[in-house]
Amino acid sequence: MIADLVLRNATLPTGRRADIVVADGIVRHVGAAVRADETVDCTGYTCLPGAVDMHVHMRGGVQAGKEDWRTGSTSAVAGGVTVVVDQPNTVPPLTTPELLRARIREAEERTVCGFAVNAGVVPEADLAGMWGAGAMAFGETFAAPSSYGEGLDAETLRGLFARIHALGGVVTVHAEEVSGRAPATLADHDLARSGGGEARAVQKIAGLAPAGMRLHFCHLSTAASIEAARGTVEATPHHLFLSRRMFDPDDTRARVNPPLRDEETRRGLWSCWDRIDVVASDHAPHTIPEKSVPFETAPSGIPGVETMVPLLMAAVQRGRITLASVIEKTSWKPAAILGIPRAGFEPGNRADYALYPDEITRIDASHLHAKCGWSPFEGLDAVFPEEVIVGGTRAYAHGELREAHGAWYPGQGYLSRENK
């Protein structure tokens, strides 16, 4: 066998050392060495399957000043993320097959990592048309208003859920309650979108969904919300690693929906680590000028796709969580939920990998690749990958982006149509 790429002396998560033989973007053999067009010496690194971040907002289009597919996907790859799932609350929102296809074309022209695109969920949306056109999932579906997304009432959600369930799709839900006046501080924001309200919203939405529906809750921020959930649940690095006490009371850079909570709530979220199915970044960048306004009018959202896995890898090295759990929550479980082929260490697996050193560093926003140029995680411990392979190609090596192109991963509606 002559391979396209061999990862030599790779230390697998099990501790075994082996050569990973790749051809045509697929793992062909794991074991003894063979000849290859290109080799990567993995000595001294831990080899992880590439992460699937199933919750990003890549902006682009009229919002390209915040982020575009090139900068956002470069940021993803530099953080060990090899597939991203873009949310549909774009400008304009993705509610028709034509808009969805245009979004896919925009990504195909610019991205350096694998990608999928979700369909918008509003009453007038052509859900069946977008499902057939390749939507990966439905939502982020807003049960409360958020940036570029209007909240939907219970009866509207019930009807939309029934339509999605009939198609066999996954629905992803943003669950919150919103009350009170426009907040002036992080504490006000926490109160207006309270943890208790989030848990009530989760419980209500779980009751609206038909039996057997594939239901996924986005960015749950409290233990009570996770306990109330049905289906799969997602948590973010910012709710795991940040609390509002780490920022000045009116620091708009920390404004995000759901809000950052207090320290006790943040620690409580960690207590649910084993119940959390997916860690996703909810990468939602805004520029510094957009954030540099009074708190009441500042947009909610923070960048995070590049720092997600590095933060978790530092937690692994500190002994807080296991490497196996990070792989499960950032790569294998999101791939399983979405129906994306698994990246891994068996013949036939997708050849997406990231090689992590043992060295813990500190996050420095000036070294990150998101266009917005800042990070709420500044100064926190992290372990960044030295090499990242996307589709069997070295996409990123020692701080430099190499020539790479990411594949589109269509959803099951498109795949079923193509297989008929």
282 among annotated binding-site residues: yes
Phi and psi at 388, nearest 5°, equal -135, 130
**SS3 letters for 90-152?**
CCCCCCCHHHHHHHHHHHHHHCCCEEEECECCCCCCCHHHHHHHCCCCEEEEECCCECCECCC
Residue 374 bridge partners (DSSP) = none
**Type of residue at 393:** T
Tell me if 367 is assigned to a ligand binding site: no
Q: Which residues contact 399 (CB under 8 A, 6 or more apart)?
A: none
Angle at 348 between CA 37 and CA 13, to 5 degrees: 85
59 labelled as ligand-binding? yes
Q: Which residue of the set 86, 282, 352, 381 is catalytic?
A: 282
57 marked ligand binding residue: yes
* Other C-beta atoms lying within 10 Å of the C-beta of residue 123: 11
Tell me how far apart the alpha carbons of residues 96 and 94 are, in angstroms, rounded to a whole number: 6
C-alpha distances out from residue 298 to 23, 78, 149, 175, 332, Å: 48, 28, 15, 21, 36
257 is in an annotated binding site: no
Residue 140 annotated as lining a ligand binding site: yes
Cβ atoms of residues 143 and 172 within 8 Å: no
Please check if 349 is assigned to a binding site.
no
Tell whether 68 is in a known binding site. Answer: no
Write the Ramachandran bin of 107: left for phi over 0, alpha for psi from -120 to 50, otherwise beta: alpha
Burial bucket for residue 47 (CB in 10 Å: 0-12, 13-18, 19+): buried
Residue 399: how many CB atoms within 10 A of its CB? 9
Q: Does the active-site annotation cover 53? A: no
Annotated binding residues for substrate, written as ranges, equal 57-59, 89, 286
Which residues carry out catalysis?
282
Annotated binding residues, written as ranges, equal 55, 57-59, 89, 140, 174, 219, 282, 286
Annotated binding residues for Zn(2+), written as ranges, equal 55, 57, 140, 174, 219, 282
